[in-house]
């Protein structure tokens, strides 16, 4: 069976909920914040891995980075292409699976934002992805990753939620913690007019410590944890789990 994240009908159906205008616009501030985190390269070449509609890639390119934006979804890449054209920027858009995409020593900065990591059933695929990122970074390069972590979920878990999109369609979400707190399973039902579609998928959730250990296993020399892209501490008030992982530690700079 095809893996859930390779199904473009899911990304297309949830797009109005996942990427309303305010979320697209927030990409600019998120990149500005990410670039303020300690140890994050300020120029050079950047990889936006799991780029979606390209909001972070565009914010990086507008700051002078040479940007490569990678995504598996043809639907998202088409959105990214339109947004890049609108911004009148040059960004390399690549359709690839992050388990396979690797360019040795090519990037100063890699971004993986808005929970674009943790989708694979096989733990070896997650490690492979992080090893690809590590090998693709230049010597002084760093990864900024942002996910919803185990600690954050435990504090504000809601078994059901609903959300209305600007176009009037509604998304009902049901969540459960499964596999001994290793994954969150999701049932998302999109009601658009008389059309009802349900999607089932699950995402791996890491604790801060688990993600740090995995990054170290993948070869990263230093890993700093934050509770948000704004650099707040990874404590009880953390909104997200944000990591800055440096390929060779800060001394490489």
Binding site for ligand SAM (CB under 6 A): 5, 11, 50-53, 55-56, 70-73, 76, 97-99, 113-116, 119
Burial class of residue 236 (count of CB atoms within 10 Å of its CB; 0-12, 13-18, 19+): exposed
Strand 92-95 with 183-192, pairing: unpaired
- Yes or no: say if 185 and 202 are a contact pair by the CB < 8 Å rule: yes
| Nearest distance in Å: CB 148, ligand SAM | 10
CA angle 55, 59, 65 (to 5 degrees): 125
Write down the H helix ranges in the chain. Answer: 8-18, 21-36, 55-61, 74-87, 123-136, 150-156, 208-217
Strand 92-95 with 66-71, pairing: parallel
| Nearest distance in Å: CB 225, ligand SAM | 19
Residue number with the smallest Cβ distance to ligand SAM: 52
| Nearest distance in Å: CB 253, ligand SAM | 26
Of 83 and 222, the one with the shorter C-beta distance to ligand SAM is 83
- Yes or no: say if 243 and 162 are a contact pair by the CB < 8 Å rule: no
Of 30 and 222, the one with the shorter C-beta distance to ligand SAM is 30
Q: State how far the Cα of 42 lies from the Cα of 34, in Å rounded to an integer.
A: 10
| Nearest distance in Å: CB 250, ligand SAM | 25
Of 56 and 248, the one with the shorter C-beta distance to ligand SAM is 56
| Nearest distance in Å: CB 119, ligand SAM | 5
Of 56 and 240, the one with the shorter C-beta distance to ligand SAM is 56
Of 97 and 210, the one with the shorter C-beta distance to ligand SAM is 97
């Amino acid at each position: 069976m095809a893996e859930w994240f390779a199904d473009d009908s899911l990304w297309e159906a949830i797009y109005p909920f996942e990427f309303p205008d305010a979320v697209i616009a927030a990409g600019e501030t998120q990149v500005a914040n990410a670039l303020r985190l300690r140890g994050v390269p300020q120029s050079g070449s950047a990889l936006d891995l799991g780029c979606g509609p390209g909001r972070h890639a565009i914010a990086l390119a507008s700051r002078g980075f040479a940007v490569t934006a990678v995504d598996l979804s043809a639907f998202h890449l088409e959105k990214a292409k339109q947004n890049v054209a609108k911004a009148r920027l040059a960004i390399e858009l690549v359709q690839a699976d992050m388990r396979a995409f690797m360019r040795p020593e090519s990037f100063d900065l890699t971004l993986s934002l808005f929970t674009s990591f943790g989708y694979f059933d096989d733990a070896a695929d997650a490690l492979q992805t992080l090893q690809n990122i590590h090998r693709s970074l230049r010597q002084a390069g760093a990864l900024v990753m942002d996910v919803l972590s185990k600690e954050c979920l435990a504090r504000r878990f809601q078994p059901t939620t609903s959300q209305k999109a600007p176009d009037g369609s509604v998304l009902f979400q049901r969540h459960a913690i499964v596999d001994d707190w290793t994954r969150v399973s999701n049932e998302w039902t999109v009601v658009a007019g008389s059309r009802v579609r349900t999607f089932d998928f699950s995402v791996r959730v890491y604790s801060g410590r688990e993600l740090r250990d995995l990054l170290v296993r993948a070869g990263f020399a230093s890993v700093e944890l934050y509770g948000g892209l704004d650099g707040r501490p990874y404590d009880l008030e953390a909104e997200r789990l944000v990591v800055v992982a440096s390929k060779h530690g800060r001394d490489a700079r």
